[in-house]
Structure 1
Amino acid sequence: MQHSSPDTFLRIYEQILDRMNEGVHVIDAHGKTIVYNQKMTELESMSQQDVLHKPLSEVFQFPSGQESTLLTCLRTGKSIRNTRQTYFNDKQKEITTINNTYPILENGQIVGAVEIADDVTKMERLIRENLLEKNGSRYTFDQIIGRSAPILDVIESAKRAARTSSSVLVVGETGAGKELFVQSIHNASLRASAPLISQNCAALPDSLIEGLLFGTSRGAFTGAIERPGLFEQAEGGTLFLDEVNSLSMSLQAKLLRALQEKSIRRIGDTKDRAIDVRIIAAINEDPVEAIANQHLRKDLYYRLGVVTLFLPPLRERKEDIPMLTKHFIAKYNQLFQMDVVGVTDEVLHFFNEHDWPGNVRELQHLIEGAMNLMMDETLIGFEHLPLHFLRRTPASAVSAAAVEPLSEPFLPFLGEGKPLKETMQEFETAYIHHVVDKYGGNISRAAKELQISRQSLQYRLRKLGIRG
C-alpha cells in the first residue's frame, strides 16, 4: 500500500478546514497566525494574506482593557469556552463572534492556540426573530421611523389607545405601516404577554374565513373537526383583522355580534363561548366611502372605530424620507454585508418629487432593489434605480446632469417578452457604452458622470464585455 506524503495530508486538512461552517484561527507560540480558514476570512472581512504569518496583535485591535481570547489562551494555557468577543479588523470594522479557544500542547509545552468562532450577529438575529415570531409581534413604537408632525400625531394617539382594551380601527393606504402600528399598540398594552393573532380577511373566501375566525365543531359539515378559531387562539390578547371591509355583509354582522356579546359560537355548535380579546381592524379606504359603497357596515364601523387612527401616506410626510432612507440602507447593509452610506443628492431630490403610491413599503423595496445592483459604490445613484421607477417619476424631478434622455440607440432593449434580468443588462451595456464613447474612452470622466467609482466602472466594463 502506498502511503501519502505529509504534504498531501496537509492539503487534505486545509480543504477540510475551508469547508467548515465555523471560523478556525490558529496561532503559534509567538502569537503569529499559522492557520486561517475560509470561514474566518468571511467573519472578519480579511484576506488570508493580510493575516497569515503576522502577529495577531498587529492585525486586530481590541477594546481598551481587553485581550484576544487566542492570546489569553496562549498565555494561560487554559481553554476558554462560549465566550463573546467584540474587536476590530485592520479597516476598523467591528466584528463580534462567539469563540471556543483551546491551547495546543506538545510534550506538555504550549506551542500555540486554536480558536473556533461562530458569527454571533447572525445567531442573535435568528434567535431574536424566532422569539418574536412566536408571539406574532415584532415592532414597538420606538421602531416607527419619522419626525414629521403627521406621523408624530398618530403615534401619540396610538400610544394613548394602547392603555385601554377598546377596539381600534386603523385606516391607511397599502404600505403605509398599518401592521407596524398594530404590533406597537399590542406590545405597549397590558396584553403584550398574550398572543397577537393576525388575519388578512381578503386572503380567504367567506366560506373558509368564518370557520377560521369562529372555529368549528365535529359534525358541522363533512370532515369537520373540533377546532378553535382565531378568537379563541387570541384569548387574553389581540386579534388583528386586516382589510375587514373585504368581508361580506353577513359575516360582518356575525363579527359585530361577537364584539357586542363578547362571545362566539363555533360553526355547528349550540353553545356560546366567552372571549376576552381586543380587536384591532384595518381598512385601506376612507371609512365614509367604504360605508357609502357598502363595503363596511355602519354599525360595525361604530363598534370598531372607538379609536380611529388615520395613517398619513408617505406623500404627506416627505420630510421623513431622508430618515426612512437612512434606516433602510442600514437594514440592508447588515443583511447584505455592505457599506452603503446614503443616496446622491439627485436621487434624494428624485425621492422628494415622487408621489409614492406604494408608500413606505415602496421606498423599502426600492432601496433593497438598488442595493442588489451595487458593487463597491457607497452612494445609491440613478444607475441603481429600477427602470420602471424612473419612467413613472415626473421628468422635472431629474436634473439634466443626472440622467440624459434616452435616445433611439438605447431602445432595442425594450423588446417585448424579454426577461427583466436580460433587459436590464442590455440597458446597462448600452448606456455605459454610450457614456464611455462620449468621453473618448476616458474611464475617469465616464465614471464621474455615471456617479460610480473608477474601479467599479472598470469592473462593469469587463463583466459586460465592453472595451474601454
Structure 2
Amino acid sequence: MKTGGTTRAKRQVYFNNKGKEITTVNDSFPITEDGIITGAVEIAKDITQLEQVIRENVMRKKNTKFTFDRIISQSEEIQNVIEEAKRSTRTTSSVLLVGETGTGKELFAQSIHNGSSRSNQPFQSQNCAAIPDTLIESILFGTTKGAFTGAIDRPGLFEQADGGTLLLDEINSLSPPLQAKLLRVIQEKTIRRVGDTRDREVDVRIIATINEDPIDAVQENRLRRDLYYRIGVVTLIIPPLRKRKRDLPLLAGNFIQKYNQLFHMNVQRMNEDVKTILFQHDWPGNVRELEHMIEGMMNRILGEETIEIYHLPSRFRNRLSPDREPVRHEGAPSLPRKLKTRMAEIEKSYVEQALEESGRNISHAAKTLGISRQSLQYRLKKQRDANDS
C-alpha cells in the first residue's frame, strides 16, 4: 500500500492458531480508486501438503539402502522371487510387484534399482493412495507457472527421476483418468507439466506395486487393463509370511538384534512357547506386523535376556486357554503340550486359592475369580476327571 507494487508467487511460512506450520504461495495487488491506493488484496494458495510430499520424496531419494543381500529369508518361495528380481536388473522393463501389505515390496523395488545400471541415478517413490487426485497429478508430472493461482515452475517426480527409477506404490489407487495419463507417459516417454503446452522427454524405469491380485483389480475396474499389460512386463509375486513360516525364527532374530541396538538392550532369545505361538499366528500384517510385535515385546522387557509369554501383546495372551490344543505348523517347535500343561497348573492353583479364601463356597469363589458359578463347577469337574484319569 506504500509503494503501489505487486508481488507474485511469494512463498510464506507461518504458524496458525493451533501451532501448525502452514506454507502458502501469495500474490498481492494494490487497490486503487481515482489513482489513489485505498487498499490491497492478497490471494494465497496453501501448499503445505505439497511441500511435505516433496520433502518426503527427497528423503526417500537419499534412503535407497536396500539390496538383495539384505533380504532375510531361507525359504524357497522368497529365494525364487529374489532370483527373478535379479534377472530383471539387466533390463529397463517395467516391473509390477504383487504382494499384501507388509511383505516388503519397497525392499524389492530398491534392490532392483540398486542392482541395475541405474543405481547411480535418482530413485523416487510415491504412495499413490496417500495423496488426493487434485495433488497427485502435479506431484507426478510437475507444474508450470500460471497453471493455477500460486502455481510455480516445478518439476514432477518423473523429471526428478530422469535417468533412474520411479516407484509407484499402490498404483491401483489412482483414478482411471490418471491411469490413462500414466499409460501415455510410459508409452511415449514424455511428460507434460500441468498447465504446460510442450512435452518433455524423460527416461524413467517404472516399478509399481499392488496389494491385491491384479487380475481382480482389472476385472473390478480398479486397474486399467492396458496399463496392467504395460507395467506388468515383469511381474513378481511376493508370498505372504503365512506361506513362508520357516523364515519366522530368522526374521524374529534379526528384529531382536535391531531393537537391541536401538534400545541398548541385550535380549538373546525367545522362550520356546513364544516361538510356538508365533507359528500358530497367520500374520495378516506380514513381516511388518512381526517387526512391530517384536518391538512391542521388547518394550515390556526389564533387564531379561529371554522373551517370555508374559511379554506377548494382550491379543495373543488372551487367546491362550488350558483346553486349547495348539495347531502344528511345519518348522514349529515341538513343545505345545508343555504350554498347555503349564497353564492348566496355573489355573488349578488360582481356583484352589479362591476356594480356600471363600471357605469352599462355590458362589463366592466364582465371584472372586470373575466367572460364573456354572463355569467354576465345570472347571472343578474337569480337574477331578483329570486326576481320576
Establish whether residue 300 from structure 1 lines up as the match of residue 227 from structure 2. yes
Mapped partners of 2:63, 2:175: distance in 1: 26
Establish whether residue 342 from structure 1 lines up as the match of residue 269 from structure 2. yes
Determine helix, strand or coil for the equivalent of 1:309: strand
Mapped partners of 2:263, 2:222: distance in 1: 42
Establish whether residue 400 from structure 1 lines up as the match of residue 340 from structure 2. yes
Establish whether residue 254 from structure 1 lines up as the match of residue 184 from structure 2. no
**Distance change >3 Å, CA 377–CA 219, structure 1 → 2:** same
Mapped partners of 1:155, 1:402: distance in 2: 42
Establish whether residue 159 from structure 1 lines up as the match of residue 86 from structure 2. yes
Q: CA deviation at 1:402?
A: 5.2
Mapped partners of 1:212, 1:391: distance in 2: 46
Mapped partners of 1:402, 1:246: distance in 2: 49
Instruction: Give 1:249-328 correspondences, 5 Å limit.
Output: 249-328=176-255
Is the CA contact (8 Å cut-off) linking 1:353 and 1:393 kept in structure 2?
no
Determine helix, strand or coil for the equivalent of 1:280: strand
Q: Which residue of 1 aligns with 2:136?
A: 209
Which letter does structure 2 place at the counterpart of 1:174?
T
**Distance change >3 Å, CA 310–CA 253, structure 1 → 2:** same
Is the CA contact (8 Å cut-off) linking 2:167 and 2:206 kept in structure 1?
yes
Establish whether residue 384 from structure 1 lines up as the match of residue 311 from structure 2. yes
Is the CA contact (8 Å cut-off) linking 1:382 and 1:403 kept in structure 2?
no
Q: CA deviation at 1:336?
A: 1.1
Is the CA contact (8 Å cut-off) linking 1:136 and 1:195 kept in structure 2?
no
Which letter does structure 2 place at the counterpart of 1:281?
A
Aligned mate of 2:168, from 241, 245, 258: 241
Q: CA deviation at 1:333?
A: 0.9
Mapped partners of 1:355, 1:311: distance in 2: 16
Determine helix, strand or coil for the equivalent of 2:167: strand
Is the CA contact (8 Å cut-off) linking 2:325 and 2:340 kept in structure 1?
no
Is the CA contact (8 Å cut-off) linking 2:61 and 2:124 kept in structure 1?
no
List gaps (5 residues or longer) in structure 2: 1-57, 327-335, 352-368, 370-389
Q: 1:101-138 CA deviation, whole Å, 9 max, x = no partner?
A: xxxxxxxxxxxxxxxxxxxxxxxxxxxxxx99653301
Q: CA deviation at 1:382?
A: 1.0
Query: Which TM-score applies when normalising by structure 2?
Result: 0.69
Q: Which residue of 2 aligns with 1:352?
A: 279
Q: CA deviation at 1:335?
A: 1.1
Determine helix, strand or coil for the equivalent of 1:232: helix
Determine helix, strand or coil for the equivalent of 2:325: helix
Establish whether residue 228 from structure 1 lines up as the match of residue 228 from structure 2. no
Which letter does structure 2 place at the counterpart of 1:157?
E
**Distance change >3 Å, CA 219–CA 166, structure 1 → 2:** same
Mapped partners of 1:134, 1:274: distance in 2: 21
Q: 1:220-262 CA deviation, whole Å, 9 max, x = no partner?
A: 1111111100000111111000000000111000000000000
Is the CA contact (8 Å cut-off) linking 2:61 and 2:123 kept in structure 1?
no
Mapped partners of 1:132, 1:246: distance in 2: 23
Mapped partners of 1:225, 1:132: distance in 2: 22
Q: CA deviation at 1:392?
A: 5.7
Is the CA contact (8 Å cut-off) linking 1:236 and 1:277 kept in structure 2?
yes
Mapped partners of 1:290, 1:148: distance in 2: 28
**Distance change >3 Å, CA 232–CA 304, structure 1 → 2:** same
Mapped partners of 1:190, 1:392: distance in 2: 50
Mapped partners of 2:148, 2:275: distance in 1: 58
Determine helix, strand or coil for the equivalent of 2:79: helix
Mapped partners of 2:153, 2:307: distance in 1: 54
Mapped partners of 1:165, 1:256: distance in 2: 16
Query: Which TM-score applies when normalising by structure 1?
Result: 0.57
Which letter does structure 1 place at the counterpart of 2:285?
G
Q: Which residue of 2 aligns with 1:175?
A: 102
Which letter does structure 1 place at the counterpart of 2:340?
A
Mapped partners of 2:193, 2:150: distance in 1: 15
List gaps (5 residues or longer) in structure 1: 1-130, 411-429, 431-468
Is the CA contact (8 Å cut-off) linking 1:249 and 1:296 kept in structure 2?
yes
Mapped partners of 2:127, 2:320: distance in 1: 31
**Distance change >3 Å, CA 195–CA 189, structure 1 → 2:** same
Mapped partners of 2:67, 2:214: distance in 1: 26
**Distance change >3 Å, CA 228–CA 270, structure 1 → 2:** same
Determine helix, strand or coil for the equivalent of 1:400: helix
Which letter does structure 1 place at the counterpart of 2:238?
L
Structure number with greater CO (CA < 8 Å, separation at least 6) is 2
Mapped partners of 2:285, 2:320: distance in 1: 13
Mapped partners of 1:199, 1:253: distance in 2: 18
Q: CA deviation at 1:366?
A: 0.5
Instruction: Give 1:27-66 correspondences, 5 Å limit.
Output: none
Determine helix, strand or coil for the equivalent of 2:90: coil
Q: 1:116-165 CA deviation, whole Å, 9 max, x = no partner?
A: xxxxxxxxxxxxxxx99653301111110101110000010011111111
Mapped partners of 1:402, 1:155: distance in 2: 42
Q: CA deviation at 1:401?
A: 4.0
